[in-house]
Copies of this chain bind each other. A is one copy, B any other.
Amino acid sequence: MLTSPTAPGAEAASDEGPRRNLGALLRRLHLAGPMSRAELAEEMNLNRSTIMALTTRLSAAGLVRERQPGGLGRSGRPSLVVTPAADRAYVLAFDVAVDRLTAARVSLGGQVQDRRIATRSRSGPDLDAVVGVLAEFGRDLHRAARPGAVCVGVGASYCGMIRPGDGTVRYGPYLGWVDQAFGTELRDQLGLGLPVRVGNEAHLGAWAEYLRGAGVGVRNLIYLHGDVGVGGGIIVGGEALDGESGYGSELGHMVVNPHDGRPCSCGARGCLEAEVGERALLDEAGLPADVIGREAVRDVVEAALRGDPASRRAVDHVGDWLGIGVANLINLFNPGMLVFGGIMRDVYLGARERVDRRIAAHVLPVSRHRVRLEVAALGDDTTLAGAAELGFADLLANPLGVMASLDA
- A interface residue numbers (CB < 8 A to B): 14-15, 161, 170-171, 219-220, 234, 236-237, 239, 241-251, 253-260, 266-268, 271, 324, 327-328, 331-336, 361-367, 369-371
Contact = CB atoms under 8 A, between A and B. Distances in A.
A259 B256 contact: no
A249 B328 CA distance: 10
Contact of A332 (B266, B332, B334): B332
Contacts of A250: 331-332, 334, 364, 367
B255 A257 contact: no
Contacts of A324: 255, 258
B334 A254 contact: no
6 contacts: A171-B365, A244-B371, A245-B369, A249-B334, A251-B332, A255-B362
A332 B256 contact: no
Of all A-B residue pairs in the complex, the 5 with the closest CB atoms, nearest first, are: A243-B334, A248-B334, A244-B336, A250-B331, A247-B334
Interface of A, helix, strand, loop or mixed by DSSP: loop
A170 B362 CA distance: 17
Nearest to A252: B331
Given A237-B239, A331-B253, A362 B248 contact: no
A346 to B, nearest CB: 23
How many chain copies?
A: 2
The CB with the most chain B CB atoms within 10 A, among A220, A251, A257, A362, is that of: A362
Contacts of A371: 244
B236 A241 contact: yes
B334 A251 contact: no
B171 A361 contact: no
Given A161-B364, A219-B244, A256-B258, 13 more contacts: A14-B14, A236-B236, A236-B241, A237-B239, A243-B333, A243-B367, A248-B333, A249-B334, A250-B334, A253-B364, A258-B324, A259-B260, A332-B332
B254 A332 contact: yes
A333 B266 contact: no
Contacts of A219: 244
B251 A331 contact: yes
A333 B257 contact: no
Nearest to A161: B366
Contacts of A267: 361
B241 A333 contact: yes
A182 B391 CA distance: 50
Contact of A246 (B271, B334, B335, B362): B334
B334 A366 contact: no
A328 B246 contact: no
Contact of A370 (B244, B336, B361, B362): B244
A356 to B, nearest CB: 15
